[in-house]
């Protein structure tokens, strides 16, 4: 008797907690979006990855680092600037040009004859430059919130590409009854509904190198595709390998069947 009462109380408490949570910050499920890289044969849309890099570089890179990326990764096999003529990514002219457009101290251990750290133009082997020298400064510049590193963000969030896309296109006017703290923005796709990142995308803020119209949806899709590639650059090779393995198994199965027929051919059933 006593047990059932405790049990009932626990159920009631759980239900109560559930309703208050839902009321405080209802999180929308991510939008369903079609991705070129979906499915067992899906590949990255190379043009989208290129445009997405442009969005990252011109918009997101002022707040978000991508510590696991080096310039030459952009020209590696399957990368956005891969060129047949330059199998070695370190020789890729586009990537050399991108890297060289950044001048800074790349390595505190590179010292000149006067004992000062060397400031020089970037090389393909240098990492993507981080916008802030440390976490504290990143927080101080963003109202206390830390813009996470984007190298693996698509893998790191439930919902993957759909979540990132929804977040970037999910800023709406806050409902009347929401109490947004100063510096927070209403985005129901973010857990809790209030995010410290101001809407980063707006129609036409960049001019695409390939002439594509820069709508918010287009930029969100492109930068998500780029981040997806960055977090899993070997996906295409892996999928190709999967197809080869299945093909091998199929041929092997046929051979085994024929061998079986051969072996039993003269046996009376």
Interface residue list for ligand HEC (CB under 6 A): 55, 59-60, 62-64, 142, 145, 147-148, 153, 157, 164, 167-168, 195-198, 200-201, 223
Nearer to ligand HEC, 65 or 92 (CB): 65
Q: What is the largest CA-CA distance in the chain?
A: 93
Cβ 109 to ligand HEC, closest distance in Å? 30
List, as one string, the DSSP characters of 37-73.
Answer: T-STT----HHHHHHHHHHHHHTGGGT---TT-BGGG
Nearer to ligand HEC, 63 or 96 (CB): 63
Nearer to ligand HEC, 95 or 153 (CB): 153
Distance of CA 203 to the CA centre of its chain: 21
Cβ 133 to ligand HEC, closest distance in Å? 16
Closest CA to 224 of 73, 68, 30: 30
Nearer to ligand HEC, 95 or 230 (CB): 230
Q: How would you classify the pairing of strands 194-195 and 185-186?
A: antiparallel
Nearer to ligand HEC, 55 or 69 (CB): 55
* Cβ–Cβ under 8 Å, residues 53 and 111: no
Cβ 149 to ligand HEC, closest distance in Å? 10
Nearer to ligand HEC, 86 or 208 (CB): 208
List, as one string, the DSSP characters of 228-269.
Answer: HHHH-TTHHHHHHHHHHHHHHHHHHHHHHHHHHHHHHTT---
Cβ 212 to ligand HEC, closest distance in Å? 16
Number of Cβ atoms within 10 Å of the Cβ of 231 = 20
Q: How many helices (H) and strands (E) does the chain have?
A: 8, 4
How many residues in total does the chain contain? Answer: 269
Cβ 167 to ligand HEC, closest distance in Å? 6
Nearer to ligand HEC, 36 or 239 (CB): 36
Closest CA to 196 of 139, 134, 137, 133: 139
Cβ 3 to ligand HEC, closest distance in Å? 41
Task: Give Cβ neighbours of residue 51 (< 8 Å, ≥ 6 apart).
Answer: 208, 209, 210, 212, 218, 219, 222, 226
Cβ 32 to ligand HEC, closest distance in Å? 18
């Amino acid at each position: 008797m006593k047990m059932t009462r405790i049990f009932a109380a626990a159920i009631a408490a759980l239900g109560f907690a559930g309703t208050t949570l839902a009321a405080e910050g209802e999180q929308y499920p991510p939008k369903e979006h079609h991705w070129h890289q979906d499915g067992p044969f899906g590949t990255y849309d190379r043009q989208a990855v290129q445009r997405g890099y442009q969005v990252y570089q011109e918009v997101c890179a002022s707040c978000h680092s991508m510590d696991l990326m080096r310039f030459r990764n952009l020209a590696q096999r399957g990368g956005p600037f891969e060129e047949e003529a330059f199998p070695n990514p370190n020789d890729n002219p586009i990537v050399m040009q991108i890297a060289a457009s950044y001048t800074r101290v790349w390595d505190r251990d590179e010292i000149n004859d006067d004992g000062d750290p060397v400031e020089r133009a970037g090389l393909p082997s240098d990492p993507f430059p981080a916008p802030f020298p440390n976490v504290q400064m990143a927080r101080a510049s963003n109202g206390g919130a830390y813009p996470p590193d984007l190298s693996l963000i698509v893998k790191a969030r439930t919902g993957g590409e759909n979540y990132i896309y929804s977040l970037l296109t999910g800023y709406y006017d806050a409902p009347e009854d929401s109490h947004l703290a100063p510096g927070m923005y209403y985005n129901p796709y973010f857990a809790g509904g209030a995010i410290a990142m101001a809407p980063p995308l707006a129609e036409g803020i960049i001019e695409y190198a390939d002439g594509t119209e820069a709508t918010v949806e287009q930029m969100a899709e492109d930068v998500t595709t780029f981040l997806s590639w960055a977090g899993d650059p070997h996906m295409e090779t892996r999928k190709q390998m999967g197809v080869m393995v299945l093909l091998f198994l199929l041929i092997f199965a046929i051979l085994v069947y024929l061998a079986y027929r051969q072996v039993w051919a003269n046996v009376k059933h």
